[in-house]
Structure 1
Amino acid sequence: SDLWTTEVDKGQISQVIGNLVINAQQAMPDGETINIKAENVNVTPKDNLPLQGGNYIKISVGDKGIGIPAEQLTKIFDPYFTTKQKGSGLGLATTYSIIHRHDGHITVKSEIGIGTTFHIYLPASAEQVKKKEGVKEETTTITGKILVMDDEEMVRNFVSKALKSFGNETEVARDGAEAIEKYKKAMDSDKPFDAVILDLTIPGGMGGKQAVKKLLEIDSDAKAVVSSGYANDPVVSNFEAYGFSGFIPKPYMLEELKKVLNNVMSEKKY
């Protein structure tokens, strides 16, 4: 039968699926099939899930990779926990956060040498989604050349793709050092950057706090936006004092991303 409808942020759920697929690929270096399945399920107390009973869309992403040790499964969604030699581990923490913001849940089952499967539960809509009538009020989108700095490849690509869909030109950087190098190169060309998005925390590399200082040294008019999943960080709560022009919380909401960049690129620094 047809899948039920569910109301989600398309960009965020695409980010979630993309992240799980990347993880599955990395778990199977020899190349195997990744199984992705979506089905309608009815959740009851017997399922022992932290969800209200009712109808859900269940999305499963499975691999036949190396598997995850049992002692690591309870920590897998913690920020900065990672089973990889490279990367910050924020990918699955972001995935967990996005699903819970959608009133859903994510579980993981894994066996060493057999593989890993993630199950996502998203609440089904009470009724079919109807097309909204009338003309949607559109705000003028200011476009430009934007540099995106984030240590997670999946996040970089997601944000870059979203910005391009808004009509922007983009480049990406893995850390602050690479961002500064690219910013300098663009300044020397006839197409400098109009704005920069800097991830606040880069494990093992230069993060946004250090990078924005260096950017302002080479360009006092640089417009930098700090991004972070930690709203209680002092840099986030007082970003202007650290030289930033705006703040974007993680996980990204596309409309919020557009709004913040609009504000930043429309204002001139004095």
Structure 2
Amino acid sequence: MENEIITDTASTAEKANSTGKGRILVMDDDKMLRQVLSEMLKYIGYEVVCACDGEKSIELYQEAKMMNKPFDVVIMDLTIPGGLGGKETIKELLKIDANVKAIVSSGYSNDPVMAHYDKYGFKGLVAKPFSIEEIAQVLIEVI
């Protein structure tokens, strides 16, 4: 699987309309979804780093914390075929940082994690597919 780090922030014109500020780690196995979500988040003012699975997310989270550039929020796909998904990854991130702010994302609305996300250590949830307004609102609530 391919990982990419996208750190560009929104252009000056987009920043004028932004509602968010901070660093977000996005974890999803779908490359196109990572790219679209990254662009949405940059558009509303966030700096974004992407990972394709839980293992890479944990590594990036630890590196950011050690470099004193922690992530404000982690948005995690619940299911990653062949890798650590959101449910497993949040457990590891909580060991690194008990105050991690994580949002679970999934298209599987009948999963128990989606129904009781807070019991698993998540601070918010967003069901796929979601709009830029929906993700912006969840981020405001979590941050």
Q: Distance in 1 between matches of 2:32 and 2:44?
A: 19
* CA deviation profile, 1:191-238 (whole Å, cap 9, x unmatched): 110000000000111000000000000000100000000111100000
Which residue does 2:75 correspond to in 1?
A: 197
* CA deviation profile, 1:67-89 (whole Å, cap 9, x unmatched): xxxxxxxxxxxxxxxxxxx8xxx
Alignment of 1:207-218 (within 5 A): 207-218=85-96
Percent identical pairs in the alignment equals: 51
Q: Distance in 1 between matches of 2:121 and 2:57?
A: 16
Q: Which amino acid aligns with 2:109?
A: A
Normalised by the length of structure 1, the TM-score is 0.46
Matched, 1:160 2:35: no
Match of 1:146 among 24, 35, 41: 24
* CA deviation profile, 1:146-197 (whole Å, cap 9, x unmatched): 0000000000000011100011000000000000000000000121100000
Higher helix share: 2
After superposing on structure 2, the runs of 4+ consecutive aligned residues of structure 1 that deviate more than 4 Å are: none
1:169 is paired with a residue whose SS is strand
* CA deviation profile, 1:85-134 (whole Å, cap 9, x unmatched): x8xxxxxxxxxxxxxxxxxxxxxxxxxxxxxxxxxxxxxxxxxxxxxxxx
2:83 is paired with a residue whose SS is coil
**Count of residues in correspondence between the two structures:** 127
1:204 is paired with a residue whose SS is coil
Q: Distance in 1 between matches of 2:19 and 2:98?
A: 25
Q: Distance in 1 between matches of 2:115 and 2:19?
A: 26
Normalised by the length of structure 2, the TM-score is 0.86
Q: Distance in 1 between matches of 2:139 and 2:59?
A: 22
Matched, 1:258 2:136: yes
**RMSD value over aligned CA atoms?**
1.2
Q: Which amino acid aligns with 2:130?
A: Y
Alignment of 1:237-256 (within 5 A): 237-256=115-134
1:202 is paired with a residue whose SS is coil
Match of 1:224 among 81, 92, 102: 102
2:113 is paired with a residue whose SS is helix
1:145 is paired with a residue whose SS is strand
Which residue does 2:4 correspond to in 1?
A: none
Q: Distance in 2 between matches of 1:217 and 1:228?
A: 23
Deviation at 1:141, TM superposition (A): 2.5
Q: Distance in 1 between matches of 2:20 and 2:41?
A: 11
